[in-house]
Amino acid sequence: MDFLYTLHSHNRWLILAAAVLALIKLTLTWISRGEYSKTDNILMGLFSWLFTIQFVIGLVVLFSRGFVMYRIAHGVTMFLALGAVHFSARWKSSPGPIRARNTVVMIIVALVLVGVGITRLPQGWTPTVMP
């Protein structure tokens, strides 16, 4: 189980990298009033997929380590962040610039919630041995 905890702890940096790449590309699409491209879709899909996998790993860790209040608070906050990530699909049929803008907003909302969720843990942003 320590492997899953370590994976969960370090995978956040892959998620952050995917989010930054998606934010940059989608912001360029939004500003240039371009069409939502295949690259935009791939980057958002990568971010969404990594985030979903992270959430599932987190659930396994939660169920295996027990329901301590800070873990529950972390999980609920991350569930809300996951919802924000997937809510961006609501604008799938919108014109490119609107879809890009709304997706950028949802990524930012998700990242803010992730920041809040991580600070709810005793170790915060520092990866340590799981309490």
Burial class of residue 87 in the structure, from the number of CB atoms within 10 Å of its CB (0-12 exposed, 13-18 middle, 19+ buried):
middle
User: In angstroms, what CA-CA distances link 64 with 2, 56, 71, 117?
Assistant: 10, 12, 12, 19
Residue type, 85: V
Q: pLDDT class for 107, splitting at 50, 70, 90?
A: very high
Domain count, the chain: 1
Domain presence at residue 111: yes
Domain presence at residue 67: yes
Q: pLDDT class for 127, splitting at 50, 70, 90?
A: low
CB 69: neighbour CB atoms within 10 A?
8
Domain presence at residue 126: no
- What is the per-residue pLDDT across 41-100, written as a single tens digit (0 to 9) for each? 999 999 999 999 999 999 999 999 999 999 999 999 999 999 999 999 999 999 999 999
Q: What is the pTM of this model?
A: 0.89
Domain ranges, residue 51:
2-119
Nearest-angstrom CA–CA distance, 85 and 71? 21
- What is the per-residue pLDDT across 27-40, written as a single tens digit (0 to 9) for each? 999 999 999 999 99
What pLDDT shows up at residue 9? Answer: 84
